[in-house]
Structure 1
Amino acid sequence: MKTLDQIASELAGYDPQALSADGVNSFLTQLVEPVTDIETSDIFNALGRVLATDIISPISVPPHDNSAMDGYAFDGAQLTADTALTLKIIGTALAGKAWSGTVQPGECVKIMTGAIMPAGLDTVVPQEFTRLNGDQLTIPAKVLQAGDNRRRLGEDLMQGQPALQKGEMLSPAALGLVASLGISTVPVLRRLKVAYFSTGDEILSLGEPPREGAVYDSNRYT
């Protein structure tokens, strides 16, 4: 690290009695060295820390095609512009429990938000848009298009892609993203080491007796 005199000699027009704000910043920039030490922190203690390396997603988000609605999943190719569509309900797909049957033309599956889309199905009609008669479901014309209400695999983030980049400050939202990837610890830069001091003839340290014209130091503790 350079000495103060060495730094001062490199600053054009340096005058310690009349430094501009930019001049002070230039001086301070040369006094400090960037923190490069890396620590590992669990996500409960990482709020406000600075990410030391990229976080690469180990999974795709979402991890599979899934439903964005509570409703009924079917092959959207069966929709026509001006005609209602009637389908037979043959099963139920729940969030966290995939439905593994085969859906033929003219059939559909009741599906919950977040449930995996059964093979061959690409469209979900919200349940409030439908009419039911036993196991028969009718979808009125013009209420949706093929592909509606389906979230695709990796739509938000593909496996192997950076989820967060080096240098980002870890906010609550960022840590929520980390948790959604199943990651419990993050690499962070060591915290800065900061010293506080107070100067002035009028400053009293805590524990000193009162003195005329003097005040106790409170800024450092605040």
Structure 2
Amino acid sequence: MLGPSPLMAGDELPVAEARVRIHAALQPITDQETLALRQSLGRVLAADVISPIAVPAHDNSAMDGYALHGADLLADAPTVLRALPGVTVFAGTPLAQPVGRGQCVRIMTGAVMPEGLDTVVPIELCQVAADAAGDTVTLKPGVLKPGENRRKRGEDLALGQPALRAGHVLRPADLGLLASLGVAELQVFRRLKVALFSTGNELRTLGQPLEEGCIYDSNRFSLMGALERLGLEVLDLGLVADDPVALNATLDAALAQADVVLTSGGVSMGDADYTRDLLAARGEVGFWKVAMRPGRPFAFGPLHAAAGRTAWLFALPGNPVAALKAGSRWAHV
């Protein structure tokens, strides 16, 4: 139940109570669809995304330097190692040959750690000297601990672990994360569909001549922008004259497609009586007088179509500032 209509009774409805009533009446969208990753920005995940790989996928170097056996490090004397001659391990090209005790190998950031090696010394901490047999790498005591500068397989994200949870709104960084996991498609909730129109004989749309006493419709455009920024699907139904036949036809079109019907104008006490009667005949619409300025007159409730569909009406005041403020207030319930 939406409760009595404070507008008709002359009482003001506190904003907090209005939010509670709206929140209690609405149900979240449950319909789902599968989208390509590149189309999913701003959408809401309908299921957990489980990582199909470990991140990182293998032990790898966190530094440019030399990979070595941590057990070769001396605590109280310099550590001298022989580098594999002419070998550098790059990312994407694992080392095929073994690296023995007392040896090390030049390695770049992101490269797979050679088998048996567990530590990387940054190049700036090394003293490298060349001789006939190749390079020797000397480390001062205490500059490095065994296991340092190695990223372990799965330390960021383990295989089979949820990468993102259902209900998460996808941001640009999330798309990058999912692409790094090889995820090409996502299960998301479909977008809320909002049918939007403005009412009033004094309104003209862009491109029409402006007769004396008329104004251009601005509410539809500001509300459309606010809705699209929220990631909603907006169905622009244009302008509707102050005429019951026209309003009925527009409501029929809205109810056939939308989850929400958003209008501006026609809900104040001074507006045409047929508007309230027509809306009330289609559902349980409450005409409220909310304790906020601007945005005081407001109508909310379910509208029922002949085919059994129901959409929720949010009818905002016609004043442009009031319409945008009220629309922003109630869109985030």
Letter paired with 1:88: R
Q: Which residue of 1 aligns with 2:160?
A: 160
TM-score normalised according to structure 1 size? 0.88
Q: CA deviation at 1:136?
A: 1.1
Q: CA deviation at 1:27?
A: 2.8
Q: CA deviation at 1:144?
A: 1.5
Q: Which residue of 1 aligns with 2:107?
A: 111
CA distance in 1: counterparts of 2:17 and 2:102, whole angstroms: 76
CA distance in 1: counterparts of 2:26 and 2:206, whole angstroms: 30
Q: CA deviation at 1:132?
A: 1.4
Letter paired with 1:141: P
Greater share of residues in strand: 2
Q: CA deviation at 1:119?
A: 1.5
Alignment partner of 1:173 is 2:167: no
Q: Which residue of 2 aligns with 1:149?
A: 149
Q: Which residue of 1 aligns with 2:226?
A: none
CA distance in 2: counterparts of 1:208 and 1:156, whole angstroms: 58
Alignment partner of 1:124 is 2:120: yes
Alignment map for 1:25-44 (pairs within 5 Å): 25-44=19-38
Q: Which moved more, 1:198-207 or 1:153-162?
A: 198-207
User: What secondary structure sits across from 1:104 in the alignment?
Assistant: coil
Q: Choose the corresponding residue for 1:21, options 9, 15, 19.
A: 15
Following TM superposition, the consecutive aligned residue runs of length 4 or more in structure 1 with deviations greater than 6 angstroms are none
CA distance in 1: counterparts of 2:207 and 2:190, whole angstroms: 34
Q: CA deviation at 1:204?
A: 3.6
User: What secondary structure sits across from 2:193 in the alignment?
Assistant: coil
Q: Which moved more, 1:27-36 or 1:74-83?
A: 27-36
Q: CA deviation at 1:53?
A: 0.5
Q: Deviations over 1:26-50 (max 9, x none)?
A: 3322443211111111121111111
Alignment partner of 1:64 is 2:58: yes
CA distance in 1: counterparts of 2:180 and 2:219, whole angstroms: 41
Query: Closer, same or farther in 2 for the Cα pair 1:88/1:204, shift >3 Å?
Result: same
Q: Which residue of 2 aligns with 1:194?
A: 194
Letter paired with 1:193: K
Q: Which residue of 2 aligns with 1:3?
A: none
Q: Which residue of 2 aligns with 1:50?
A: 44
Q: Deviations over 1:87-120 (max 9, x none)?
A: 1112432211111222222111111111111121
User: What secondary structure sits across from 2:191 in the alignment?
Assistant: coil
Q: Which moved more, 1:179-188 or 1:209-218?
A: 209-218
Q: Deviations over 1:64-96 (max 9, x none)?
A: 111001111001122122311111112432211
* Larger RCO of the pair (alpha carbons < 8 Å, separation 6+): 1
Q: Choose the corresponding residue for 2:90, options 80, 88, 94.
A: 94
Greater share of residues in helix: 2
Q: CA deviation at 1:21?
A: 1.2
Q: Which residue of 1 aligns with 2:302?
A: none
Letter paired with 1:190: R
Q: Which moved more, 1:77-86 or 1:14-23?
A: 14-23
TM-score normalised according to structure 2 size? 0.60
User: What secondary structure sits across from 2:34 in the alignment?
Assistant: strand
Q: Choose the corresponding residue for 2:72, options 78, 88, 102.
A: 78
Report how many aligned residue pairs link the two structures.
213
RMSD: 1.9
Letter paired with 1:68: A
- Percent identity between matched residues is 50
Q: CA deviation at 1:207?
A: 6.2
User: What secondary structure sits across from 1:197 in the alignment?
Assistant: strand
Letter paired with 1:150: R
